[in-house]
Structure 1
Amino acid sequence: MTQITYRFAKDSDADGLIALVAQCYAEYEGCILDVDGEEPQYRSIASFFADKGGLFWVAEQGGKIVGSVGFASKKETAELKHLYVDSNVRRQGLASSLCQLVEDAVHERGLPTLYLWTDTRFENAHRLYEKRGFVGGAVTRTLSDLSQSVEYYYEKALRPS
């Protein structure tokens, strides 16, 4: 099996990133990916996250994007966004490695808290976040999107500098 490599995303990664997210959404009944209407950031992911004070990474295997994650920052917090892993490479530590990239970058910026919102249907993700020390899963928000998403809030206090 070809090695997985990590790199900062480029805006030109749009097609591969959209394919990854579409694959992940397809695993859940009722999850609809509407890039142009609801998730236009996927078309220029690096620029989008740079504008949000953050960074975005992709994981590649054999030239294919098999994982993604990013963060946006403001004031004293950062938000983890768009953690997706191709179903063919799950359970190998890829999601945890992607989370670590974000945690390290946020910590280097001196931000004490990392938070995220995750769809209530993404139970495997909830287990990963909890294993990594995120606390939450009780507070929810409802989105007015095509997927009729309800999301859980999680946060993690990062180690002090």
Structure 2
Amino acid sequence: MDITVRRARDEELDEVGEMTTAVYLDDGLLDFGAEDPYLHDLRDARRRAAESDVLVAVDSSGGTVLGALAFSAYGAPYAQQARPGEGEFRMLAVRPGARRRGVAEALVRACLDRARERGLQGIVISSHPRMTAAHRLYGRLGFVRAPERDWEPVPGIGIWAFTVAL
């Protein structure tokens, strides 16, 4: 399967929001399940697109959206952890049927390329401790755990930080 990564088109944003929400729910990544307040943010890809670069990985032959994420640089509304000179991506989601085909890797590599093009010195990401497959991918791409930057969006819900220097 050939994968193309590009900015999401307006007509894809609702699909991106629904896919991201379904992936996080189905994978058990929301500590409060269907009542999790983060669901609204996951579903609202239109707001993400207004405040960050929403990138999609699509099947080059059919244009099907296989995965998505939001990329921002320090100072942007969607950059929660980035410091000056850093980029950040969030809300990485890949359709279950498209996993283990390089979709997530293509999306992360696109973020690395964007950050380099913008002259950024690094990228920081936040990841739920249960996202073990993502952690393996991040490690292969040079990201390292940065426990000093771990944080809690809600008291008692710990999120891990990873960084990579560019």
- The TM-score normalised by the length of structure 1 is 0.79
Q: In terms of mean alpha carbon deviation, does 118-127 or 58-67 score higher? A: 58-67
Contact map agreement 1:16 1:64 (CA 8 A) in 2: no
Q: Does 1:117 align with 2:122?
A: no
Q: 1:34 to 1:16 in 2, by over 3 A?
A: farther
Percent identical: 26
Deviation at 1:83, TM superposition (A): 1.5
Contact map agreement 1:60 1:66 (CA 8 A) in 2: yes
Q: Distance in 2 between matches of 1:117 and 1:110?
A: 21
Q: In terms of mean alpha carbon deviation, does 34-43 or 131-140 score higher? A: 34-43
Alignment RMSD, CA only?
2.5
Match of 1:52 in 2: none
Q: Determine which of 44, 56, 59 is the counterpart of 2:57.
A: 59
Q: Which runs of 5+ in 2 are unaligned?
A: 75-83
SS in 1 for 2:115: helix
Q: 1:108 to 1:18 in 2, by over 3 A?
A: same
Superposed CA offset, 1:99-134 (max 9, x none) = 111100100111111110011111111111111110
For 1:2-21, list aligned pairs within 5 A. Answer: 3-21=2-20
Match of 2:154 in 1: 144
Deviation at 1:138, TM superposition (A): 3.4
Deviation at 1:136, TM superposition (A): 0.4
Q: 1:57 to 1:149 in 2, by over 3 A?
A: same
Match of 1:154 in 2: 162
Q: Distance in 2 between matches of 1:37 and 1:135?
A: 29
Q: Distance in 2 between matches of 1:69 and 1:111?
A: 18
- The TM-score normalised by the length of structure 2 is 0.77
Deviation at 1:40, TM superposition (A): 6.4
Q: Which runs of 5+ in 1 are unaligned?
A: 50-54
